[in-house]
């Protein structure tokens, strides 16, 4: 709103009329001018995630980004993946039914009779 009326009126008068300090106005103007630093990184993370069909977690994505030459921390990748809502698929545990020889009795190696008279 201030941006449209700035051409017609003085900036300090406009800010005083809406009760906004100058510092807040300039802070927000500066924030709008700066691009998000993680946007390119988010795109790379999404590409890697979808390229590997959701099987890569933050650790493997971090390694893939580092191998491509990016200096990045695993905590940053984890935070960005949480923001994007990307979660890796967890491998299910395999069924293991082998129990060995069940009910096997050990041989009597001593062969003594321990009967009391």
**In Å, how far from its chain's centre is CA 44?**
13
pLDDT band at 103 (very low <50, low <70, confident <90, very high): confident
- Only one residue has tokens 């009326």, namely 5
pLDDT band at 4 (very low <50, low <70, confident <90, very high): low
Domain ranges of the chain: 2-33, 39-84
At 66 the pLDDT is 96
**Residue 2: left (phi > 0), alpha (psi -120 to 50), or beta?**
alpha
Whole-prediction pTM: 0.57
pLDDT in tens, 10-67: 788 888 888 888 888 888 888 877 777 888 899 999 999 999 999 999 999 999 999 9
Residue 66: Cβ-neighbour burial (10 angstroms; 0-12, 13-18, 19+): middle
């Amino acid at each position: 709103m201030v941006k449209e009326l700035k051409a017609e009126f003085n900036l300090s008068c406009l800010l005083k009329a809406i009760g906004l300090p100058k510092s807040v106005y300039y802070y927000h103007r500066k924030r709008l001018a700066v691009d998000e630093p993680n946007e390119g990184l988010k795109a790379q993370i999404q590409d890697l995630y979808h390229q590997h069909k959701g099987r890569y977690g933050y650790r493997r994505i971090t390694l893939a980004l580092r191998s491509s030459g990016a200096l990045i921390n695993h905590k940053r990748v984890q935070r960005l993946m949480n923001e994007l809502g990307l979660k890796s698929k967890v491998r299910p545990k395999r069924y293991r039914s082998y129990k060995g020889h069940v009910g096997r009795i050990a041989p009597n190696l001593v062969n003594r009779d321990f009967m009391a008279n």
